[in-house]
Amino acid sequence: MSIFSKSASKYILDTNIIVYWLNGNKLIEKKIIELGLTQLGIPFIVACELYYGAYHSAYKEKNLAVLKKLFQDIPILIHGLEEAEIFGKLKAQFRQKGHPIDDADLIIASCAITRNQTIVTHNLKHFQRIPQLSIEDWFV
């Protein structure tokens, strides 16, 4: 499996879901086993956030090894101009309404919209404001 992919996966994992999964959440683990890793993708920005967390942690080497294995099993989704345009449009819309959304979340949303994929997140508050998105929370 290529580390960088446009991916035919059905689900995009948000950072918080991956962290809960890696910390042993059984509900998330069960859902991932049911679906299979081929149904999953990780946006580039999520990989960035995970690397930041690993380098910032007290267990840097252990966490980096976990990420290396994770990124071998689940493709990192690359972004292109289509995602960039959707990001710009969404950011402008939410800023004009006076309710901006974090850039990382908008990049993840743009990735999902472009690919017609479902975002898996426990951060429903931000993502539910974007009407084009399909969202699931496997934490509950």
**pLDDT for 34-83, tens place per residue?**
999 999 999 999 999 999 999 999 999 999 999 999 999 999 999 899 99
In the numeric block, the tokens 């975002």 are attached to 119
Taking the domains of the chain in order of start, what are their residue ranges? 4-136
H or E element that contains 32: helix 26-35
| Chain mean position to CA 55 | 19
Question: Mean pLDDT over residues 83-111, rounded?
Answer: 95
Q: What is the reported pTM?
A: 0.90
Which CATH superfamily includes the segment(s) 4-136? 5'-nuclease (3.40.50.1010)
In terms of Cα–Cα distance, which of 121, 66, 113, 69 is closest to 88?
113
> Phi, psi at residue 7, to the nearest 5°?
60, 140
Whole-angstrom distance, CA of residue 17 vs CA of residue 23: 10
